[in-house]
Amino acid sequence: MSDTNSDAGADGPLGGLFDGLSRRSSDLLLVFGALFAIYALFTIFVFGQGINSVVSTLRFLTFLILVYGMLALALNLHWGYTGLFNIGVAGFMAVGVYTMAMLSGDPAGSPPGLGLPVPIGIIGGMVAAALVGLVAALPALRLKADYLAIVTLGLSEIIRLTYNSEAFNQWIQGATSTITSRVGFLPDGGAGTGAGSGIQVPSPAGPVRTLFFEGGRAGNPTPLGDAVFAVTDPIGIQQNVVVEWAYVLVLAVVLLGFYWLLSRIGNSPFGRVLKSIREDELVASSLGKHVEIFKVKVFMLGCALMGLAGILWQGSFGFVSPNDFMPVVTFYIFVAVIIGGSGSNTGSIIGSILFVGLLFEGPRRALGALGNRVDFGRAPNSFGDAVAPILSGDITPFFAYAVANRSALVFVLLGTVLIIIIQTRPDGALGGRNEPAAAVDLSTRPEKQPTTATDGGENQ
């Protein structure tokens, strides 16, 4: 029997597109193919509104793809690799962002922060997210998958409501100020959460901005800024858009870092134990693996990455409030992982591209573009009024309704697509393919006996 041929079928619907190429190059082709297809689609949506509009739209799209990619990779480590059903991603993001904001926020702001440098705030945010992960993990990882899901969902809501609470805001300000007033280099006011009115976050995009503008102020470009703007200004791209693109490039580098880290973990004995835990915990422990230690480690690492992704995403807007961390955010990340195929790191990135491009932003933009170009008249008031005329052959009211209610209809589409995927392609685009967890190519056989009945060795 030929084992090498079985790869193609197991690679999922997209995995077999580029047979004959090495997996790495076919993965690259897939990722960039999907990305540029989405770019082309969105360029059509905003075509005719000028180059600045196109560049700016693609920037926003890429930004979302990158932050979803990071979160999907982190979730894939938990869920895809280890089988830990963590549906509290939003909560761990919140811990990351809030801790960062409290550590690095302006001491004179409202609520006050500790004014520490942004990199320290980011590291602090990741550590805090990991520690909250530890607190959740210690009791919860003894539970079976479904119960872990309930615990993490509950925890993420507890976190959100805690940050929303004025009492907690008062308490933490008091508690931190008693500590900081005794430490010379820290401001005496402590740090608060801002409760329901949200908190200012020193944006991680800030340092990128200062590369282009002296002191971050527009109209005061640095030599680098001058050089870049000399190219972009004549084309008609606004300087702000250029600076925002620069931040997106930083995010792309961070995403590569995530991918590098998680691939390395996946292709190692550590990753192999994670996989075995997902498959059958009792087997793993019967082979001498201390399952709980592995779970705690991987849970903390994943939470730290979620914290970092939260900082780079929500933190970059300069302001967050507890409402930015509703459970639906976690749901979106799950959709991205499911579309890409859980258990595959490349799948997580492709899933993020497809989710953001075709489900999250695409339909909304498509309907918006349609509405801009075609006049469907006044939108009907109810779904019934929109659908009923279809029976008599008039589809205009339906389109008018869809254009007017496009944001809400995205949810309908999301749900429908999710059901279809789970019914027909539960492995997603790249799931179910075999990514052997080892630091070396396992197909390589020891040299002797090349004639035995196997064709496994000729794989690479």
Q: Which residues bind another protein (CB under 8 A)?
A: 1, 3-4, 6, 10, 261, 264-265, 268-273, 275-276, 278-280, 282-291, 297, 301, 343, 434, 436-440, 442-446, 449, 452-454, 456, 459
CA atoms within 13 A on the CB side of 4: 10
Shortest CB 10 distance to another protein, Å = 8
- What's at 238, amino acid-wise? Q
Shortest CB 88 distance to another protein, Å = 22
SS3 332: helix
**What number of other Cβ atoms are within 10 A of residue 81's Cβ?**
25
Shortest CB 451 distance to another protein, Å = 12
Q: Which CB atom, from 20 or from 288, has the smaller least distance to another protein?
A: 288
Shortest CB 20 distance to another protein, Å = 18
Helix (H) or strand (E) holding 199: strand 199-200
Q: Which CB atom, from 131 or from 417, has the smaller least distance to another protein?
A: 131
| 80 DSSP assignment | I
Q: Which CB atom, from 378 or from 445, has the smaller least distance to another protein?
A: 445
Q: Which CB atom, from 234 or from 288, has the smaller least distance to another protein?
A: 288
Shortest CB 34 distance to another protein, Å = 25
Cα–Cα–Cα angle for 284, 286, 291, nearest 5°? 45
Q: Which CB atom, from 50 or from 456, has the smaller least distance to another protein?
A: 456
Shortest CB 274 distance to another protein, Å = 10
Q: Are 406 and 368 in contact (CB under 8 A)?
A: yes
Structure tokens that stand for 448 in this block: 């002797």
Name the one residue in this structure whose structure tokens are 């872990």: 148
Compute CA distances 161 → 107, 180, 195, whole Å.
24, 25, 9
Q: Which CB atom, from 372 or from 434, has the smaller least distance to another protein?
A: 434
Q: At a CB cut-off of 8 Å and minimum separation 6, what does 352 contact? A: 65, 66, 68, 69, 72, 336, 340
